[in-house]
Amino acid sequence: MKNRKRPRTIVITGASAGVGRTAAHEFAKEGARIGLIARGRAGLEGAKREVEERGGETLIVQADVADAAALEAAADDVEKKFGPIDVWVNDAMASVFSPIKEMTAEEFKRVTEVTYLGYVYGTLAALKRMLPRDHGVIIQVGSALAYRGIPLQAAYCAAKHAIQGFCDSLRCELTHDKSNVRVTMIQMPALNTPQFGWVKSRLPRKAQPVPPIFQPEVAARVIVYASHHPRREIYVGLPTVEAIVGNKIAPGLLDHYLARTCFDAQMLETPEDPNRPNNLWEPVDATEDHGAHGTFDDRANTWSPQLWSDLHRGWIALGVLALGGAIFGGLFAKQRLSD
């Protein structure tokens, strides 16, 4: 894929902020042509400017991913301008911080339509174009919460679980059809994105990602990596590995641990304004660009040792084998000298 002569065509949903926006930055460095899809005009314009500063080309499309027809039209627009789509990144999300007992049916429906069905609709639009060409990569931006639900984010956790099941089914079908279209789901840790200041919240205090926190650039780099080296699944950050593996080993124990710790862990000490704008129904970046980062820069990690070792595991394995061979050879030579 890296040796293709024409610049790759990329589509990113949720491209106006956070992971989607930083992923666009990373793809721009390779001179990609990028379709940026989101609802907020100001955020999209900011992302467009930053991508072009980094050497990429852009087409911005205002669309709600909960609208399947709008995504289909967006895919058409991108291909008319840039040619066949090589990579489709599903990243758009919505959430509500709230106890389940205080949620409404309409809120559950909206989060599901954006965070789960938005991925389904994006995947359908990508498959419609990739399958006839037998080429393309679909990247689903997931979460550790796809495997381990936590309190106060039930709608979001359920949607991420649904994406994981959807991807399992899709991979089986692609394998059955011997298709060269690839699907990768990347399970993310807590990230420093603007979502914590604009998702709807009933919490008494301002929301925060459960520490440790990572910068969205960590996520962006692995998205670009996966577009060149599509794996079935990639875990980002040691907290993600701990959550997923821990849930497989002792889910009941985690229930009690999270019940005790995960309410306060998702809140700052600062009181929340119950009347602040939220983006559940309308974008909050329609007229004001909020950028890619949230408000946790001073606490966010820019690098993950776990992720580095995972992405370089082939070289690490070769190094271990070489070291083992050198040690064995030295011991063998020493033994021969002593005989």
Asked whether 60 and 126 are in contact (CB, 8 A), the reply is no
- Pair 156, 145: CB distance under 8 Å: yes
Q: Give CA torsion, residues 198, 201, 205, 208, to 10 deg.
A: -50
The verdict on whether 156 is a catalytic residue reads: yes
Q: What are phi and psi of 334, to 5 degrees?
A: -65, -40
- Please pick, among 156, 225, 235, 257, the residue that the annotation labels catalytic: 156
Rounded CA-CA distance 62/41 in Å is 7
Q: How far is CA 293 from the centre of its chain?
A: 14
Residue 155's φ and ψ, nearest 5 degrees, are: -65, -45
**Whole-number Cα distances in Å, 132 to 46, 126, 128, 167, 295:** 34, 11, 7, 20, 44
Place of tokens 């989101």: 38
Catalytic residues: 156
